[in-house]
Structure 1
Amino acid sequence: MSDRDVLLSMGFEATRVDWALKATGGRGLQPAMDFLVENENKPVPDLGSVTSAAPTTSTPAGGDMDVDDDEVEALKAIYGNKGGIEAQHAAAAADAAAEAKSIKCTDCGKIFKNTALAQFHAEKSGHDQFEESTEEVKPLTEEEKKQKLADLREKMAAKRAAKAKEEANEQRANEAIRRKSGKDMNVVREELKVKEAIKEAEAKRKEKLEDAKARAAIKAQIEADKKARAEKAAREKALREGKPFPDSGAAVTAPAAAAASSSSATSGVAGKDYPQTRLQIRLTSGQSYTTSLSSDAPLREVAEYLAGQTLAVDVETISFAQHFPRKNFTKADLSRSLRELGLTPSAVLIATP
């Protein structure tokens, strides 16, 4: 079975297997497996742009080493350029009797078949002390390959399990945050509803109280007028019959006093300083809104309130009217207060968007 078939049987994707084999230059199963583990979370690039690792360079016994510039740079990276790469090349050429069959990491004692594997080990482990060795890297037996595959599967399974656990913890944390945010928002909504209900109830109570006072004042005025008319009729009848009208001075002054009293009561109600004005606003489209505003607020604030309730209203083009008493408000009235327009303590407005 080829290295590609072994990697495919382990469950790796075909594109990743081809990438690993090309990137490691087909140096064997172990480099390909290490490459797949290291690049597990990276996207697979275009294989045409992948550069294969340099093949193993061997030196014939008794011959000279043929090392090009690229290999010199690789050797510099592996050996840390100790003593100069030129001196090492000269020493390797002079030592014709001993053929270098592998590269050994003096930090951990591992041996590698070629410089590419040694470079890969250096990048992964951080070791930088290497030397040539005559010890030959023996190929893995079937038992060792099976053990390697089992270890790799176990390692990948552990990584997947850790990642799944981390994602589950993150999902639980996000769900807890979402639930808390939803709960807090519901509490805020309930509090706003309660405050709005209290505010509306208070406004209705004040409106009823003011209406009751206004009705009482009007009733008093009507009674005073009735009494004044009755006294006036009795006085005129007494004069026609030539009879003296008892307490004429008091009778004359009494209606005036009653009228003055009722007039004072009426003017007191009319001139009372209402801090709030309750408005019922009806749109020509059929929608109706009720709100309470400051009596000193301009009529434009009513237009802005409607614009905040529905997108069909434009503050600059809306117009207002009143059916009783009949009145159409102009653009100039938008800057006048509700008190100045006679809309206090309550009024019904017709709004045309």
Structure 2
Amino acid sequence: MAGDKETLLGMGFDPARVEWALKATGNRGLQPAMDHILENESKPVPSMDAVSESAPAASNSSGAMDVDDDEDMEALQHLGVAGAGAVEAKSIKCSQCGKIFKNTALANYHAEKSGHDQFEESTEEVKPLTEEEKKQRLEELREKMAEKRAKKAAEDAIEAKANEHIRRKQGKDTHKIKEELQAKEVIKEAEQKRRDKVEDAKARAAVKAQIEADKKARAEKAAREKALREGREITDAPGTAGPANPGPAAAAVSSGVAGKDYAETRLQIRMSTGGQPYTATLPSDSPLMAVAEYLAGQTLNVDIDTVSFAQHFPRKTFSRSDFSKSLRELGLTPSAVLIATP
């Protein structure tokens, strides 16, 4: 109706939503249209062609209700209205609250909202609202609309607060997990640095020991060679195995063997393919084959039947026949650095 439309537009509602509400409620009145607007204000306005139009209540030209139609009779019976009598009905009255309605559509709407189910036909005609009544009705509708909007705003605020609480909790949990992972990485890196430092220290100590042993062996060898040239008696360092007065032949043999009789030999084994060196301490009487077996036990890349060993200083490559000789016989005591080729 034009009056309802103008009232809704005057209340500040969007024209498209007003058209939608009036069509969807079948122009049953201001209250149903406004309820429809408030209930669907968060939804987008559909195309008017897609909106199903509720059929408005029928009335005859004199303003009286036409109850001869089967559908209207069924609507009246559904509302609990007795069958139409001889008296011409001009409205429907709610027996429970006394309100009167000019058509069955408005009576149905009242029944849905109030839960009332007792209605009767009435000869009382629904009079048009006066200007004062219209203003009062409009003010009531505005207050109701403001109340509904305030209620919805409060519900939205509670929901937003709950969502914010969930979001913050998730953010804190994610930050905590990230900090724990970073702490674990720091600990892991520190442990790796410590292990690397220990391994480097061991490697430097082994190299230093090898250098000292080589220097000592070279010095002893030079001393023997000088004694042979000068025809002097060769005197071994304390603890050196061999006769007290070796002959020239024995001196020649002993000159190619490293000095003292050490019970154990410390070896640093480096792979020709690179990687971390292996450190082992073996009895000096162990054959070179024991070194191959030790290395094969440390890495699957080594086969004891094909592996070979060499020294960079003094430069020497050991043959397969040397694998049966002891570390002492090969001059590797008390320590040596071997290069292994798989």
TM over 0.5: yes
SS of match in other structure, 1:244: coil
Tell me the alpha carbon deviations over residues 224-258 of structure 1, each in whole angstroms, 9 at most, x when there is no partner.
Answer: 22222222222233334333223589545699575
Determine if the alignment matches structure 1 residue 106 to structure 2 residue 95: yes
**Do the aligned residues in 2 keep the contact of 1:101 with 1:132 (CA within 8 Å)?**
yes
Percent identity at matched positions? 60
SS of match in other structure, 1:137: coil
Which letter maps to 2:56?
A
Counterpart CA distance in 2 for 1:73 and 1:51 is 20
Q: Give matches, 1:73-112, under 5 Å.
A: 73-79=74-80, 89=83, 92=84, 95-96=85-86, 98-112=87-101
SS of match in other structure, 1:67: coil
**Do the aligned residues in 1 keep the contact of 2:266 with 2:280 (CA within 8 Å)?**
no
- How many aligned residue pairs are there? 264
SS of match in other structure, 1:132: strand
SS of match in other structure, 1:219: helix
1:137 matched residue in structure 2? 126
Counterpart CA distance in 1 for 2:299 and 2:129 is 91
Tell me the alpha carbon deviations over residues 118-137 of structure 1, each in whole angstroms, 9 at most, x when there is no partner.
Answer: 11212222222222122222
Bigger Cα displacement from structure 2, 262-271 vs 146-155 = 262-271
Cα distance change of structure 1 residues 260 and 108 upon mapping to structure 2, 3 Å threshold: farther
Cα distance change of structure 1 residues 161 and 233 upon mapping to structure 2, 3 Å threshold: same
SS of match in other structure, 2:121: strand
2:187 matched residue in structure 1? 198
Where in structure 1 do 4 or more consecutive aligned residues deviate above 6 Å? 296-299
2:137 matched residue in structure 1? 148
Which letter maps to 2:15?
A
Q: Give matches, 1:275-314, under 5 Å.
A: none
Counterpart CA distance in 2 for 1:223 and 1:197 is 39
Determine if the alignment matches structure 1 residue 51 to structure 2 residue 56: no
| 1:102 Cα offset (Å) | 1.5
Which letter maps to 1:238?
A
Q: Looking at CA atoms only, which structure, 1 or 2, has the larger radius of gyration?
A: 2
Determine if the alignment matches structure 1 residue 231 to structure 2 residue 239: no
TM-score under structure 1 length normalisation: 0.61
| 1:35 Cα offset (Å) | 5.0
Counterpart CA distance in 2 for 1:103 and 1:118 is 7
SS of match in other structure, 2:234: coil
C-alpha RMSD over aligned residues: 3.9
| 1:153 Cα offset (Å) | 0.5
SS of match in other structure, 2:213: helix
Contiguous gaps of at least 5 residues in structure 2:
243-253, 270-276, 282-297, 302-342
Counterpart CA distance in 2 for 1:248 and 1:12 is 114
SS of match in other structure, 1:196: helix
Counterpart CA distance in 1 for 2:237 and 2:27 is 134
